[in-house]
């Protein structure tokens, strides 16, 4: 819960990420994350109230470190990866994120039930330590003075300047609007997907998890394919074509009542999402000056999270009120 509550800290962290040296910020965030994770090992000696309070405080601290880590990593990628290789780098990152999302819960469960919770915590601390030494081994290029220097403004001036650049950039606002609409579907599906499984597919609620598996498989396969084809991709064309394919796949899913065909279609939708994710980062890096990268990246996540949450709430509300008995036919297609 603390991670969700602290997402709003992202734009604030983005201001400081643009002010501070990226590699140093990443090292500090990793070092603090390692120490905070290790501190969890000592909470077992505390009374219950203080144990729970300390665990929650440490979790909040880890969330704060993550808010500073992400935009700084984005800036570091911009510094060390040449423009022609950014699509491939984005693809590799998406592959690794997909793999961690799949293997992470499985590995955590395995460690919890085999070696115990404290050994699992120690393993988690070790992962932050590995990240620390990996970043320590990176030697980013020395930036020209005029590129490295940031005009000395106060915090709110920096904050407003970043938002103004985001709003005034047609490319960034187009990407933002497209991504807001894209994640809105995810919010609707998370909210009403279980009813789709039961009513449209005539399957038990447990099948809902398999639909997410289909999306995950498509995301992983799409990431691998996009990484392989990175040198041939036009990122702008890839972005809008993938959006179009995802929209078509979701529309087809809404008309299907066969579970197997639905799984296959959602796999294509997941693959399209992978291409969207991979194309987005190079476009943003291309149109955003380095001094704004931290603020732009840090602002996107809270906005998309808000869209995801709002769409889920709105879908649930409309489904239970004004659209409860809705039924219409358009071009021989039934909507209800």
- Encode the chain in three state secondary structure: CHHHHHHHHHHHHHHHHHHCCHHHHHHHHHHHHHHHHHHHHHHHHCCHHHHHHHHHHHHHHHHHHHHHHHHHHHHHHHHHCCHHHHHHHHHHHHHHHHHHHHHHHHHHHHHHHHCCHHHHHHHHHHHHHHHHHHHHCCCCCCCCHHHHCCCCCCHHHHHHHHHHHHHHCHHHHHHHHHHHHHHHHHHHHHHHHHHHHHHHCCCCHHHHHHHHHHHHHHHHHHHHHHHHCHHHCCHHHHHHHHHHHHHHHHHHHHHCCCHHHHHHHHHHHHHHHHHHHHHHHHHHHHHCCHHHHHHHHHHHHHHHHHHHHHHHHHHHHHHHCCCCCCCEEECCEEEC
pLDDT value, residue 324: 67
pLDDT value, residue 26: 93
In DSSP terms, 92 is beta-bridged to none
Task: Please state, rounded to an integer, the average pLDDT across all residues of the chain.
Answer: 82
Query: Which residue is associated with the tokens 């909210």?
Result: 191
Domain spans, the chain: 2-141, 162-335
Report residue 146's pLDDT band, with 50, 70 and 90 as the boundaries. very low
What is the Cα–Cα distance from 101 to 226, expressed in whole angstroms?
Answer: 19
pLDDT value, residue 74: 84
The pair of structure tokens assigned to 293 is: 């990268």
| pTM (2 d.p.) | 0.76
Determine phi and psi for 330, rounding to 5 degrees.
Answer: -135, 120
What is the Cα–Cα distance from 232 to 238, expressed in whole angstroms?
Answer: 10
pLDDT value, residue 149: 46
Mean pLDDT of 184-191: 81
Note the pLDDT tens digit of each residue in 248-300. Answer: 998 888 888 888 888 888 889 888 888 888 888 888 888 888 888 888 888 88
Q: Judge whether residue 145 has pLDDT over 70.
A: no
Mean pLDDT of 174-203: 84
| CA-based end-to-end distance of the chain | 34
pLDDT value, residue 143: 67
- Among 19-23, 58-62, 174-178, 208-212, the range scoring the smallest mean pLDDT is 208-212
Percent of the chain exceeding pLDDT 90 equals: 12
Percent of the chain exceeding pLDDT 70 equals: 88
Report residue 244's pLDDT band, with 50, 70 and 90 as the boundaries. very high
Question: 319: number of CA atoms within 13 Å, CB side?
Answer: 14
Note the pLDDT tens digit of each residue in 79-135. Answer: 888 887 887 887 787 777 777 766 776 677 777 778 788 888 888 899 999 999 999
pLDDT value, residue 147: 45
pLDDT value, residue 39: 92
Burial tier of 229 (Cβ tally within 10 Å: 0-12, 13-18, 19+): middle
Mean pLDDT of 192-199: 80
Report residue 148's pLDDT band, with 50, 70 and 90 as the boundaries. very low
Note the pLDDT tens digit of each residue in 19-64. Answer: 888 899 999 999 999 999 999 988 888 888 888 899 989 988 998 8
> Where does 162-335 sit in CATH, by number?
1.20.1250
Mean pLDDT of 138-150: 63
């Amino acid at each position: 819960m603390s991670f969700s509550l602290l997402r709003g800290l992202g734009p604030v962290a983005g201001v400081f990420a643009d002010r501070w040296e990226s590699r140093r910020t990443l090292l500090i965030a990793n070092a603090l994350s390692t120490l905070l994770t290790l501190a969890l090992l000592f909470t077992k000696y505390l009374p219950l109230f203080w144990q729970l309070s300390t665990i929650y405080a440490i979790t909040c601290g880890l969330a704060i470190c993550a808010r500073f880590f992400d935009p700084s990593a984005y800036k570091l990628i911009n510094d060390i990866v040449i423009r022609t290789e950014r699509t491939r780098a984005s693809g590799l990152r998406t592959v690794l994120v997909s793999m961690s999302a799949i293997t992470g819960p499985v590995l955590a469960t395995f460690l919890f039930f085999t070696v115990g919770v404290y050994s699992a915590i120690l393993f988690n601390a070790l992962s932050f330590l590995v990240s620390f030494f990996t970043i320590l081994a990176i030697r980013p290029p020395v930036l020209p003075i005029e590129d490295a220097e940031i005009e000395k403004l106060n915090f709110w001036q920096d904050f407003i300047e970043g938002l103004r650049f985001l709003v005034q950039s047609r490319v960034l606002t187009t990407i933002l609007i497209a991504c807001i609409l894209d994640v809105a579907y995810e919010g609707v599906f998370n909210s009403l997907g279980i009813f789709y499984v039961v009513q449209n597919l005539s399957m038990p609620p447990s099948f809902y998890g398999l639909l997410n598996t289909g999306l995950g498989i498509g995301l992983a396969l799409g990431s691998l394919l996009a990484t392989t084809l990175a040198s041939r991709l036009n990122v702008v064309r890839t972005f809008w074509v993938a959006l179009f394919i995802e929209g078509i796949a979701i529309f087809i899913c809404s008309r299907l009542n066969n579970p197997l065909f639905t799984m296959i279609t959602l796999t294509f939708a997941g693959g399209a999402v992978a291409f969207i994710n991979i194309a987005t980062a190079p476009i943003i890096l291309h149109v955003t000056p380095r001094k704004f990268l931290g603020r732009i990246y840090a602002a996107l996540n809270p906005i998309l999270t808000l869209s995801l949450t709002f769409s889920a709430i709105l879908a649930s509300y409309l489904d239970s009120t004004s659209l409860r008995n809705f039924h219409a036919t358009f071009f021989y297609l039934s909507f209800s």
